[in-house]
Amino acid sequence: MGVVYRAWDDELDRPVAIKVITERALYTEGGRQRFRQEMRILARVHHHAIVSVHRAGQLENGLAFFQMDYIEGGNLAQLIANRSVNNDRLTASEAIHLLSPIAEALDYLHSAEKPIIHRDVKPGNILIPFEQGWGPASVLTDFGISLTEDETRMTSAGTIIGTDQYMAPELFAHGTFSEAPPVSSSSGADRYAFALVVLELLTLRPLRSVMSDEAWRFHRVFPGVSSNEIAPADAPAAAAISSVFTRALSNEPSDRHPTATAFLEDLARASAATAPSTFIPADELQKMEPPRPALPPVRPAGAQMAVPFAAPPKRRKWVRPLIAAGTVAGVALAAAVAYPTVIRPAWPAEAKNMASEFPQVLPDRQRGTGWNNTKCQTAQLQPSERARILCTGNNTTLAAVDYGSGDWRNRVVGDTANATHMSNGTCAVDVMDVPGNALHTIAVLPEDALSRYAFLISGPQINKDQLTLPVC
C-alpha cells in the first residue's frame, strides 16, 4: 500500500526514507485510514530494532507521506532467495543471531501499555543492514496493517488482511476477518508468523508450500522437521529442534511460547550441540543490493514532488520507482531504492561534544566512518570516564576517551615521563606506549585545552598511526 523513496534531509544533512501512500490505495478511505493508523502507531514506537519515524504529513496534491530513518539494507526474503540457489541453509545459531532483534521488537510491541500487533510478520518485512556488527542484525518494518487494543479493523467482512503463508490457523477459523480476535490471540498470531519465518530460514522453504489450500486454512498439522531438511550442522539435533517448532506452531495459541524471545531461547537450547556461526559474510549481504541509479540534481526548497498517477507495477524483486527530485517538509527527494533501514543514531551529549572536537577522527553520528575507515560507536564507560567512543576496522582499534578534565586524565594515565612530545604549531600531543596489551598499543594525549581527552590505538601499523592521527 506504499512506495518508499530514498531522500535527502537538508536540515539533518543525511539520507532518509520517505514512504508515500500509493495512488491505488488512495482510491479508498480504508487505504487512507490505514496509512494514518501506521503513522499513529509508529509515532509511539521506540525500539532499536524497529524503524523510526520522524515526521508525517500530506502534500498539496493529497498524497500522504512520512519520513523515517534510512540506512543501506536488504531484506530477509532476498537472503532466503540467495541461499536457496545453492540450498545453503542457515544453522539454528545463525538464525537466532539474525532474528533475535526481531523477537525483542515483537515482545516490546506486545508488552506495551496498549499492545501493538504487527499482523504481517514475514521475510519481506524484516530488513538486514549491510553493516553487520553495528547495531541490530535485523529490523522490523511496515506497520500498515497493525492493530492495537483501541483500534478496530478497517476491512469489510470476508477480507483477509495479512500474508497467507505466514498466517496463524486461528485467523482462518471462520474464513473471515469480519470479527477481530482478542489482542492476546493476535499477539500469538504474530509469534506464530515469526516461528514460520525462523523455520523457513532453516529449511529454505515456507511451510505453506507443503500443504494444500484446504489443509493450510482449516486442517493444519505441523509435519515436523527431519535431519535432511536443515543444515548439516543441525542434523544431530533435528528431533529436539522439531519439538521446539511443534510447540511454536501449535494450532492452539495458548500452547505456544509466551514470547518470541522464549521461543528463540528454547531453539538455542535444542541446538546447543551445533557449531555457532553468527555473522553472515559481508559479500553475501552485498548480493542483496540493487543497482544504484545516479542521484538527480536536488531542486530548490519548496519544489513540488511529482508522482505519476499510474497503476503501480506488478510486484517483483527490487521494483525501484523513480520520482522527480523535490522537497517534502524540508526533505529533498532523490532516486528511489527498495525499502531501506537501520539507524545511525545521534551521539549522546558527552560523546557528541568529543566528536565535535575531533571531526577528522570521529564521525558526526554513531556507526559512521571515522579515522582510517573505522566504524565508530559508543562503548561502556570505565571509572572516571565521561564518554568513550570505540572505532574498529581496517586492522585498527581506536578508543577515544573523555575524562572530563586534564587532571583526571593524568591521574588515570599515570607517568608520562617516557612519552614523545609532538607539535605541529597548532597543538601539541604526548605519545607513549601502553604496556600489558596483546597488540602493540599507544596512547595519544592532547595537551592544553584538549587535555581532558585521550586516544588509545592498537594495530599492526601502530608506528605509522601515531604520526598520522589528525587530532588538531
Residues 237/85, Cβ–Cβ less than 8 Å? no
Q: What are the two backbone dihedrals, phi and then psi, of residue 466, each rounded to the nearest 5 degrees? A: -65, -15
pLDDT value of residue 114: 79
d(CA 417, CA 117): 62
For residue 122, name the pLDDT band (cuts at 50, 70, 90).
very high
Q: What is the value of pTM for the model shown? A: 0.58
For residue 277, name the pLDDT band (cuts at 50, 70, 90).
very low
Long-range contacts of 277-281 (CB under 8 A, 24+ apart): 277/91, 277/93, 277/94, 277/233, 278/93, 278/94, 278/97, 279/97, 279/132, 279/133, 280/79, 280/94, 280/98, 280/128, 280/132
For residue 137, name the pLDDT band (cuts at 50, 70, 90).
confident
Domain count, the chain: 3
State whether residue 78 is helix, strand or coil.
helix
- The verdict on residue 338 lying in a domain is no
pLDDT value of residue 38: 66
pLDDT value of residue 315: 31
DSSP designation for 25: G
User: Which residues fall within 8 angstroms of residue 259, CB to CB, at 6 or more apart?
Assistant: 103, 106, 107, 110, 191
Q: The CATH number of the domain where 152 resides is what?
A: 1.10.510.10
Average pLDDT over residues 140-168: 57
d(CA 99, CA 191): 12
Written as nine digits, the cell of 68 is 523515517
For residue 310, name the pLDDT band (cuts at 50, 70, 90).
very low
- The verdict on residue 183 lying in a domain is yes
Using the predicted structure, report yes or no on whether residue 158 has a pLDDT greater than 70.
Answer: no
Q: Count the Cβ atoms, other than its own, within 10 Å of residue 346.
A: 13
d(CA 173, CA 163): 16
Highest mean pLDDT among 177-191, 231-245, 326-340, 410-424: 231-245
Average pLDDT over residues 238-263: 95
Domain termination residue (choose one: 265, 282, 299): 282
- The verdict on residue 339 lying in a domain is no
For residue 298, name the pLDDT band (cuts at 50, 70, 90).
very low
Does 205 lie in the same domain as 162?
A: yes
Does 90 lie in the same domain as 184?
A: yes
Q: The CATH number of the domain where 52 resides is what?
A: 3.30.200.20
Choose the weakest-confidence range: 13-27, 88-102, 309-323, 404-418: 309-323
d(CA 469, CA 242): 54
Average pLDDT over residues 69-83: 85
Using the predicted structure, report yes or no on whether residue 164 has a pLDDT greater than 50.
Answer: yes
Does 153 lie in the same domain as 88?
A: yes
Does 309 lie in the same domain as 231?
A: no
Q: Which whole-number Å values give the CA distances from 21 to 35, 409, 425, in the listed order?
A: 7, 54, 57
Does 242 lie in the same domain as 313?
A: no
Using the predicted structure, report yes or no on whether residue 184 has a pLDDT greater than 50.
Answer: no
What are 332's strand-pairing partners? Answer: 8, 327
pLDDT value of residue 102: 95
pLDDT value of residue 181: 41
Mean pLDDT over all residues of the chain? 74
**Within its chain, how far is the Cα of 309 from the centroid?**
32
pLDDT value of residue 332: 40
Output 396 or 251, whichever has higher pLDDT.
Answer: 251
Average pLDDT over residues 46-55: 83
Does 122 lie in the same domain as 99?
A: yes
Does 201 lie in the same domain as 93?
A: yes
- The verdict on residue 342 lying in a domain is no
Residues 4/69, Cβ–Cβ less than 8 Å? no
Written as nine digits, the cell of 363 is 564521525
Does 275 lie in the same domain as 156?
A: yes
What are 399's strand-pairing partners? Answer: 390, 456
Using the predicted structure, report yes or no on whether residue 153 has a pLDDT greater than 90.
Answer: no
User: Which residues fall within 8 angstroms of residue 418, CB to CB, at 6 or more apart?
Assistant: 432, 433
d(CA 38, CA 19): 11
- The verdict on residue 18 lying in a domain is yes
d(CA 429, CA 420): 8
- The verdict on residue 253 lying in a domain is yes
Output 9 or 135, whichever has higher pLDDT.
Answer: 9
Does 273 lie in the same domain as 160?
A: yes
Does 377 lie in the same domain as 247?
A: no
Output 470 or 149, whichever has higher pLDDT.
Answer: 470
Structural domain for 371, as ranges: 349-468
Q: The CATH number of the domain where 433 resides is what?
A: 3.40.1000
pLDDT value of residue 134: 55
CA angle 199-200-203, nearest 5°? 85
- The verdict on residue 343 lying in a domain is no
Average pLDDT over residues 416-443: 80
User: Which residues fall within 8 angstroms of residue 144, CB to CB, at 6 or more apart?
Assistant: 1, 2, 34, 35, 37, 38, 120
Using the predicted structure, report yes or no on whether residue 340 has a pLDDT greater than 80.
Answer: no
Mode of pairing for the β-strands spanning 396-402 and 428-433: unpaired
pLDDT value of residue 228: 95
Does 147 lie in the same domain as 39?
A: no
For residue 66, name the pLDDT band (cuts at 50, 70, 90).
confident
Does 322 lie in the same domain as 385?
A: no
d(CA 324, CA 308): 10
Using the predicted structure, report yes or no on whether residue 235 has a pLDDT greater than 50.
Answer: yes
- The verdict on residue 86 lying in a domain is yes
Domain termination residue (choose one: 300, 333, 366): 333
